[in-house]
C-alpha cells in the first residue's frame, strides 16, 4: 500500500490546517479564508439515480484530497464532500472503499468527486422531462447529442449465434431504496454474470413502468434492470420485460416493503434472489447503449431477455402509485446493430 500521508488529527482546525499544508500553502491562509465569506459553501453531490458515481477519480502519486478538491471545484474545502460522496457510493459500488481517515489515501484508490454544482433535478415529464434532459446540464449532454442511447425499439435484429450469459446470482439481503425516480434494490457482493468471457458484478436492480424497451413498437407493462459493472468500469445491464399476469411471487417481499418516499437505503432481514426474476429462456437482444437516465452515459452493454416475466395488475399499480411514469422514450438506433441470439 502506498500511503501518501498519515497524520493523526483531533480537531477541525487541525484538519483544515493540515489540508492547507498538504497543498503547500500556509495554514493561516486557509484558516483566514474560512473565517470570511470568501470560501464558497460546500458543494453538492452529483450521482446518477442508479447510485453510481457520475465522476470516478483514481488517486495518482502526489494527490491529496484537498488538491483533488481544488482541481475539481476550485475549493480545497470540498474534500469533505468527496469523502461524503465516496463513502456514500461505496455502499453499493464495490470499486470504492470508504474513507475512514482523510489522511490515509493511497495511489490507485478510487474517489467519487463531488461536483461544483448539484446535478439539476430531472423528471419523466414537464419542463425537466426527457426531451429537456440534455439542456438541463452540460453533464447531461449525451442525453441530447449521444448516438448510442437507450432504450430502443427491439425489432429488425440481426440473428446471430451468441454465447449465453452465464448467471451466477446468489441470494442477497434486500437493501432497498426509493431514489426519487424508482425503487432500487442494492445487491450484496458476490453475484455476477459472465458475458463473452468477462465478469460483471451485480450492483443493483430497479424497475421502470411501463417498460423502456419496446418489441416491434410495443411497450411491456414494466421492466426490471439488473445493473452490473466489470472491474474496468464497463457497465452491463440485463433487462427483463414484465407483462401483466398473475402475482409475481419473487417480487412479493420487495413489494411488501416499497419505501413510499425518497430516502436512504434500508436493509431488510429478508433476502432476494435475482435469479428468480430471470426468465428460463436464455436468448437475448444485445446492443451498445447508455444509461436510460441522466447523465445518459454511453458504453453500456445491453442485454434484454427475449422471454418476459409476469407481474400482476395490483403489483403494477403499487409501483405506479409511487412513480406514475418512469420510462424514457425510445431512442434512435442510428448506425448501431441490434443482435438477437438465434440459439437457446
Ligand atoms: Zn433502468
Instruction: Evaluate whether 96 touches 102 at the Cβ level (below 8 Å).
Output: no
Tens-binned pLDDT, residue by residue, of the chain (344 aa): 434 433 333 333 333 333 333 332 222 222 222 222 333 333 334 454 455 777 889 999 999 998 998 888 777 888 888 898 898 888 888 889 999 988 888 999 999 986 545 678 999 999 999 999 999 998 899 999 999 999 999 999 999 999 999 999 999 999 999 999 999 999 999 999 999 999 999 999 999 999 999 999 999 999 999 999 999 999 999 999 999 999 999 999 999 999 999 988 999 999 999 999 999 999 999 999 999 999 999 999 999 999 999 999 999 999 999 999 999 999 999 999 999 998 88
SS3 assignment, position 165: coil
User: How far, in Å, from the CA of 235 to the mean position of ligand 1?
Assistant: 12
Instruction: Evaluate whether 332 touches 155 at the Cβ level (below 8 Å).
Output: no
User: How far, in Å, from the CA of 257 to the mean position of ligand 1?
Assistant: 20
User: How far, in Å, from the CA of 15 to the mean position of ligand 1?
Assistant: 40
Domains of the chain, start order: 12-112 (no CATH), 126-341 (3.10.200.10)
User: How far, in Å, from the CA of 265 to the mean position of ligand 1?
Assistant: 18
- Grid cell at residue 260: 413510499
- Among 198, 194, 191, residue whose Cα is nearest residue 169: 191
Which residues, in sequence order, are CB contacts of 127 under 8 Å at separation 6+? none
Residue 193 is inside which H or E element, if any?
A: strand 192-195
pLDDT score of 314: 98
pLDDT score of 41: 34
pLDDT score of 344: 86
User: How far, in Å, from the CA of 241 to the mean position of ligand 1?
Assistant: 11
pLDDT score of 118: 61
Query: What whole-number distance in Å separates Cα of residue 206 and Cα of residue 321?
Result: 16
pTM assigned to the model? 0.70
pLDDT score of 88: 85
Instruction: Evaluate whether 285 touches 165 at the Cβ level (below 8 Å).
Output: no
Instruction: Evaluate whether 155 touches 224 at the Cβ level (below 8 Å).
Output: no
pLDDT score of 95: 86
User: How far, in Å, from the CA of 334 to the mean position of ligand 1?
Assistant: 21
What is the widest separation between alpha-carbon atoms in the chain? 69
- Among 239, 226, 342, 217, residue whose Cα is nearest residue 283: 342
pLDDT score of 102: 87
Strand order in the sheet with 153-154: 153-154, 214-215, 218-219
User: How far, in Å, from the CA of 186 to the mean position of ligand 1?
Assistant: 13
User: How far, in Å, from the CA of 150 to the mean position of ligand 1?
Assistant: 10
pLDDT score of 202: 97
User: How far, in Å, from the CA of 27 to the mean position of ligand 1?
Assistant: 46
User: How far, in Å, from the CA of 38 to the mean position of ligand 1?
Assistant: 41
pLDDT score of 42: 36
Instruction: Evaluate whether 178 touches 258 at the Cβ level (below 8 Å).
Output: yes
- Grid cell at residue 123: 423528471
User: How far, in Å, from the CA of 49 to the mean position of ligand 1?
Assistant: 9
pLDDT score of 115: 58
Amino acid at each position: 500500500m502506498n500511503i501518501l500521508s498519515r497524520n493523526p488529527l483531533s480537531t477541525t482546525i487541525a484538519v483544515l490546517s493540515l489540508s492547507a499544508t498538504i497543498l503547500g500553502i500556509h495554514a493561516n491562509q486557509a484558516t483566514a479564508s474560512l473565517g470570511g465569506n470568501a470560501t464558497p459553501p460546500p458543494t453538492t453531490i452529483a450521482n446518477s439515480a442508479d447510485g453510481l458515481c457520475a465522476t470516478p477519480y483514481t488517486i495518482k502519486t502526489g494527490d491529496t484530497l484537498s488538491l483533488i478538491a481544488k482541481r475539481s471545484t476550485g475549493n480545497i474545502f470540498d474534500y469533505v464532500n468527496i469523502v461524503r460522496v465516496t463513502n456514500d457510493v461505496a455502499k453499493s459500488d464495490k470499486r470504492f472503499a470508504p474513507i475512514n481517515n482523510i489522511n490515509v489515501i493511497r495511489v490507485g484508490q478510487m474517489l467519487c468527486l463531488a461536483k461544483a454544482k448539484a446535478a439539476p433535478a430531472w423528471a419523466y415529464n414537464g419542463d425537466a422531462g426527457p426531451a429537456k434532459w440534455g439542456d438541463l446540464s452540460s453533464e447531461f449532454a449525451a442525453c441530447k447529442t449521444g448516438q448510442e442511447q437507450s432504450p430502443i425499439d427491439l425489432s429488425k435484429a440481426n440473428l446471430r449465434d451468441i454465447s449465453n450469459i452465464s448467471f451466477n446470482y446468489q441470494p442477497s439481503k434486500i437493501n432497498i431504496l426509493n431514489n426519487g425516480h424508482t425503487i432500487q434494490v442494492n445487491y450484496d457482493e458476490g453475484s455476477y454474470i459472465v458475458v463473452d468471457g468477462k465478469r460483471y458484478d451485480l450492483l443493483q436492480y430497479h424497475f421502470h413502468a411501463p417498460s423502456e424497451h419496446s418489441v416491434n413498437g410495443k411497450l411491456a407493462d414494466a421492466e426490471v434492470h439488473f445493473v452490473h459493472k466489470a472491474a474496468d468500469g464497463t457497465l452491463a445491464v440485463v433487462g427483463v420485460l414484465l407483462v401483466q399476469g398473475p402475482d409475481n411471487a419473487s417480487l412479493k417481499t420487495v413489494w411488501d416493503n416499497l419505501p413510499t418516499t425518497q430516502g436512504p437505503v434500508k436493509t431488510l432481514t429478508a433476502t432476494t434472489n435475482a435469479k428468480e426474476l430471470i426468465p428460463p429462456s436464455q436468448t437475448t437482444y444485445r446492443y451498445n447503449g447508455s444509461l436510460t437516465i441522466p447523465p445518459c452515459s454511453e458504453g453500456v452493454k445491453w442485454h434484454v431477455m427475449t422471454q418476459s416475466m409476469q407481474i400482476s395488475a395490483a403489483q403494477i399499480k403499487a409501483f405506479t402509485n409511487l412513480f406514475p411514469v418512469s420510462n424514457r422514450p425510445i431512442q434512435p438506433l442510428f448506425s448501431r446493430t441490434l443482435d438477437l441470439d438465434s440459439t437457446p
